[in-house]
């Protein structure tokens, strides 16, 4: 190990790790060339491919590596929070209609095709290069949405030519789709205000309707990762990089192999931001069809969109010196503090929103980044509740239970195309997001702002 491993979690959350390989994976990451300070793991950590999910690692640009396992298969899987001025107590029966309308408006599930025709080669190239701005130009959302999107919804240095024909083929029909598994659209009520100043800055009021969207780059991002893993299995040895786990294939950042992967990864990240931008517009239109009015009368706006499977070049202070580093966040999210140049002007006095989704049946949270996160974790925090059970184990525990009926008895409407997905995603399959947030707060790397209670969930 070149650096230590540092885990941010309570004793109870650490006990959940006894039966998976995530602790070993965090230690393996600490062996990689050019790693800076420590191999970090967030309180929602669990076993992933190569890196643990919830893993954060920063690498020197000259001596360090880039590893697809440190980004993940679903490149720029991320979360987008929308707010409204609608009082949830006044929605009544219209809530069920909204859930149904959103399910119909947002294609979801394995292989689902988008709400817009399959993209032409030119349109796909533009989406890959421009990200969310491309979607806005197509009439999906408003230009001000970009201000409240991490990196304004576009990573510079993306190159559509770096993608394989298969990646392009998979992505072209999937713009504006939710996907399956843990991806969702969740209607929520702002249940409690925990930090009034930050909540006011974010425009979140108790008792109002909020909507959380979780999705990524779909088959396109998956194929970019698959292609890179195949290439790097040979390139790792060619660059004489010794790795403790075959899943940690990696190449020097500055090498042609490293630059090719980063160009493709950035393009996939831009595809994901465009995808979420399109879906946000589809959700807005669904609300208007049920409730009437328009964006302004509904008070509909984007609070923030943040990625949690990405590698980005950032500047951080390490041992008193400013350094440019490639920060891998795999199942971890950015958490920049008040005053940081990349925090939207509206939030400059409080910091960046940090979005922590729950598990269909329990609370989600909005937190805010802190100065301690910048000094401790390269400005990073947890990305959600984190799995406790594998999908196979969850299906065994669920047995013949009807998860949608169970949630319905608790006042949570569920629209899903697959009972198998509901079994895999049942609340017991996840850690409690409240415990994750408690660990973040205790460590000082994110501060809770708002608690969100689920009302209705759309799953693939």
The torsion defined by the Cα of 288, 291, 292 and 295, in degrees rounded to 10, comes to -50
Cα–Cα distance measured from residue 14 to residue 281, given in angstroms and rounded to the nearest whole number = 39
Residue 328 · residue 48 · CB < 8 Å: no
Please spell the DSSP secondary structure of 229-283, one letter per residue.
HHHHHHHHHHTT---SSGGG--EETTSHHHHHHHHHHHHHHHHHHHHHHHHHHHH
Find, among 5, 1, 56, the residue nearest to 445 by Cα: 56
Token pair belonging to 204: 């979140």
Cα–Cα distance measured from residue 446 to residue 458, given in angstroms and rounded to the nearest whole number = 28
Backbone phi, psi, residue 393, to 5°: -65, -35
Give Cβ neighbours of residue 247 (< 8 Å, ≥ 6 apart).
49, 50, 69
Please spell the DSSP secondary structure of 131-165, one letter per residue.
THHHHHHTTSS-GGGGGGBGGGG--TT--GGGS-H
Residue 69 · residue 52 · CB < 8 Å: no
Residue 267 · residue 75 · CB < 8 Å: no
Token pair belonging to 54: 């919830």
Using alpha carbons only, give the angle 153, 179, 290 rounded to the nearest 5 degrees.
Answer: 80
Token pair belonging to 444: 């000082």
Residues marked as catalytic: 383
Token pair belonging to 346: 């509206």
Which three-class secondary structure state does DSSP give residue 254? coil
Backbone phi, psi, residue 18, to 5°: -65, -25
Cα–Cα distance measured from residue 305 to residue 246, given in angstroms and rounded to the nearest whole number = 33
Give Cβ neighbours of residue 313 (< 8 Å, ≥ 6 apart).
61, 324, 325, 326, 327
Residue 76 · residue 43 · CB < 8 Å: no
Token pair belonging to 154: 């576009």
């Amino acid at each position: 190990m070149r650096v230590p491993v540092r885990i941010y979690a309570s004793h109870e959350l650490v006990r959940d790790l006894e039966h998976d390989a995530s602790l070993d994976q965090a230690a393996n990451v600490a062996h990689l060339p050019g790693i800076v300070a420590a191999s970090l793991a967030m309180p929602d950590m669990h076993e992933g491919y190569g890196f643990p999910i919830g893993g954060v690692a920063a690498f020197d640009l000259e001596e360090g590596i880039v590893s697809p396992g440190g980004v993940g298969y679903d490149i720029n899987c991320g979360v987008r929070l929308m707010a409204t001025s609608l009082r949830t107590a006044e929605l009544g029966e219209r809530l069920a209609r909204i859930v149904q309308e959103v399910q119909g408006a947002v294609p979801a599930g394995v292989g689902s095709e988008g709400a817009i025709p399959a993209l032409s080669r030119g349109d796909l190239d533009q989406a890959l290069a421009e990200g969310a701005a491309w979607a806005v130009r197509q009439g999906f959302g408003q230009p001000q949405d970009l201000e409240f999107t991490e990196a304004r919804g576009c990573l510079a240095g993306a190159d559509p030519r770096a993608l394989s024909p298969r990646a392009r083929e998979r992505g072209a029909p999937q713009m504006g789709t939710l996907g399956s598994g843990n991806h969702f659209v969740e209607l929520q009520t702002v249940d409690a205000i925990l930090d009034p100043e930050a909540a006011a800055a974010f425009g979140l009021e108790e008792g109002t309707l909020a909507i959380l969207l979780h999705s990524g780059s779909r088959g396109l991002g998956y194929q970019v990762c698959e292609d890179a893993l195949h290439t790097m299995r040979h390139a790792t040895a060619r660059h004489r990089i010794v790795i403790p786990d075959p899943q940690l294939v990696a190449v020097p950042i500055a090498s042609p192999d490293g630059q090719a992967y980063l160009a493709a990864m950035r393009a996939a990240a831009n595809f994901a931001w465009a995808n979420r931008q399109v879906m946000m517009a589809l959700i807005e239109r669904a609300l208007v069809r049920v409730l009437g009015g328009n964006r302004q009368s509904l008070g509909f706006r984007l609070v923030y969109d943040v990625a949690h499977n990405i590698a980005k070049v950032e500047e951080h202070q390490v041992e008193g010196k400013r350094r440019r580093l490639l920060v891998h966040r795999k199942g971890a999210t950015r958490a920049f503090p008040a005053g940081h140049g990349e925090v939207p002007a509206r939030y400059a006095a409080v910091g960046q929103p940090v979005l922590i989704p729950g598990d269909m049946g329990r609370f989600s949270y909005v937190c805010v980044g802190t100065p301690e996160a910048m000094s401790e974790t390269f400005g990073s925090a947890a990305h959600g509740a984190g799995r406790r059970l594998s999908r196979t184990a969850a299906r065994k525990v669920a047995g013949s239970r009807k998860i949608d009926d169970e949630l319905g008895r608790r006042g949570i409407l569920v629209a899903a195309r697959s009972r198998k997905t509901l079994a895999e995603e049942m609340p017991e399959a996840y850690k409690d997001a409240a415990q994750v947030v408690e660990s973040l707060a205790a460590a000082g790397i994110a501060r809770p702002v708002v608690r969100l209670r689920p009302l209705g969930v759309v799953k693939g």
